[in-house]
Amino acid sequence: MQPKPAAILPLATAYYSYLYRKELVSNILPFWQNHSKDEVNGGFFTCLDRAGNVYDTDKFMWLQGREVWCFSYMYRHVEQKEEWLDMALHGARFMQQHGRDEQGNWYFSTTADGKPLVQPYNIFSDCFATMAFAALDKINPNDEWKKIAVDTFENIIRRRNNWKGHYSKAYPGTRPLKNFSLPMILCNLSLELEHILGSDRVNEFVPEVIHEVMEVFYQPEHGLILENVNPDGSFNDSFEGRLLNPGHAIESTWFIMDLAKRMNDPVLIDKAVTILLNTLEYGWDKEYEGIFYFMDIKGAPPQQLEWDQKLWWVHVEALVALAKAYALTGNERCAAWFEKVHDYTWKHFRDDEYGEWFGYLNRRGEVLLSLKGGKWKGCFHIPRALYQVAATFEAI
C-alpha cells in the first residue's frame, strides 16, 4: 500500500481512487474468482474460510444473485474480462435452473446441487435476483434475463406490503410494524432496472420510495432513521420500534443521493447528508472507534446480543456515502469523517495475507470470525464499495 498523503481529503482524491481500484482488481475480485466457483454443480460457494477453503456447501440464493450482479457490474464498468463474464453466466445458470418455486419466488437456500433447503420467506433473495439478471442483461442481452428480472420485480411490488406472507412469525394485527429494509433497497433496485422498465416507470416509482425513506422512517425529532415504525410512520415504543441500524440508514443515504442527483434536487442531497452525519455521530463508538451494529434510540439495552460488533458492510457503505456526500457538497465534515472511517476500516478489516476482508470484529476491533464468506457475507458490499469510492473520487 502506498503511503497516505498528509493532505486532507480534497488534495488526496487521486490517492484514494488509485488505492480503492487497485484493491478491487488485485485482491477482492480474484479471491472470489479463484475460490467461490462450483465447477461441479454450478453456482457459487460462499462459505469460505480465511484462505478461501470451502467449509460448507449450502448455497444462499441472495448471495448467488449478489455475486452474479457483482461480476456483471464490474465487467461493464471496470474491464471487459471474459473470465468475469463467465463468472456471471455461471452463477445465473444455476439460479435460473434451481432458484425459484413454482410461483416464481426465490428460495433462501439450496444444497450444493440445487435442491431447495429453506423456503422463499426472505424477499431479499428476490431483490438480488432482480439486480443480478438486470445487470447481466446489460452485458449479455437476452430476453430470458429480462423476463426473469421484470417478473421478479413485479413479484416484489406485489408482496412488498406483506413480504413474508405466511412465513411471518408475527401474530397479525397486534403490532403491524413497517420495516425499513425493503424501501431502502427499492431506492437502488429501481435504477438497476431502468434500461428494462423505462425511465417513465422509474420516475413514477422513485418519489414514493423517497417518501418512505425520508419522511416515514426518518424521525425529525431525533434526526435519525428508525428500522421499524407503525404503519402511519409514528414511533412504537418497543424493542423493534426503538431499533436503530446505523448501517442501513447510512447505506440508504447514498441511494437517496444518487436519486437526488438524477432529479437535480440539492435540497434532498443536503437532507441525506445531514442524516448521514447525524447517524455517524450517534453510531460511532467513542471508546473503541468503529460503528455499532445495532442501537436503541432511547439508550435502552438492545435486543440483539451482537449489538456492539463492528461489521464490514456497515463501514464500507459509510465510505461510499461519505465519498458521494463530499463530491456533491464539498462539506469538510464529510471529508474528515471519510478519513476517520477509512483509517479504521483499512486497519481492522483488511487482510494483508489472503485477500478479501474480514467481516466480523468485536467491539475492540479484533477479528471475531476469520471467515471471508458465509450465510450473510458474500461477494458484494466490499467490491461494490471499492468501485463506488474509486469512481466517485476519479470524477472529482
pLDDT digits (tens, 9 = 90+) for 352-375: 999 999 999 999 999 999 999 999
Give SS3 for 291. Answer: strand
Cα(119)–Cα(110) distance, rounded to whole angstroms? 9
Mean pLDDT of the chain: 94
**pLDDT confidence tier of residue 8, bands split at 50, 70 and 90:** low
Q: Which cell goes with 281?
A: 455521530
251-276 average pLDDT score: 96
Residue 118 has pLDDT above 50, yes or no: yes
Write down the H helix ranges in the chain. 13-23, 29-35, 61-77, 82-98, 123-139, 143-159, 181-192, 194-197, 199-211, 246-263, 266-283, 312-329, 332-348, 381-394
The confidence score (pLDDT) of residue 163 equals 78
Write the class of the CATH domain 28-394.
mainly alpha
pLDDT digits (tens, 9 = 90+) for 19-39: 999 999 999 999 999 999 999
Q: Which cell goes with 275?
A: 442524516
Residue 394, CA atoms < 13 Å, CB-side half-sphere: 12
Q: Cα–Cα distances in Å, from 326 out to 188, 389, 396?
A: 20, 11, 10
pLDDT digits (tens, 9 = 90+) for 72-113: 999 999 999 999 999 999 999 999 999 999 999 999 999 999
Question: CB within 8 A of 358, min separation 6: which ones?
Answer: 50, 312, 348, 349, 350, 351, 367, 369, 370, 372
The confidence score (pLDDT) of residue 129 equals 98
Residue type, 62: W
Residue 255 has pLDDT above 90, yes or no: yes
Residue 120 has pLDDT above 80, yes or no: yes
The confidence score (pLDDT) of residue 125 equals 96
Cα(316)–Cα(322) distance, rounded to whole angstroms? 10
**pLDDT confidence tier of residue 6, bands split at 50, 70 and 90:** very low
Cα(292)–Cα(287) distance, rounded to whole angstroms? 11
Residue 3 has pLDDT above 80, yes or no: no
The confidence score (pLDDT) of residue 205 equals 84
239-254 average pLDDT score: 97
Q: Cα–Cα distances in Å, from 86 out to 68, 76, 230, 310?
A: 10, 13, 45, 34
The confidence score (pLDDT) of residue 186 equals 85
The confidence score (pLDDT) of residue 346 equals 98
Cα(345)–Cα(195) distance, rounded to whole angstroms? 34
**pLDDT confidence tier of residue 5, bands split at 50, 70 and 90:** low
Cα(156)–Cα(133) distance, rounded to whole angstroms? 15
Residue 10 has pLDDT above 70, yes or no: no
pLDDT digits (tens, 9 = 90+) for 144-193: 999 999 999 999 988 887 878 888 888 888 999 999 988 888 888 888 99
The confidence score (pLDDT) of residue 169 equals 86
With beta carbons less than 8 A apart as the criterion, state whether 124 and 60 touch.
no
The confidence score (pLDDT) of residue 396 equals 87
Cα(363)–Cα(26) distance, rounded to whole angstroms? 29
199-211 and 246-263 are packed helices; what angle lies between their axes, rounded to 10 degrees?
140
Residue type, 257: M
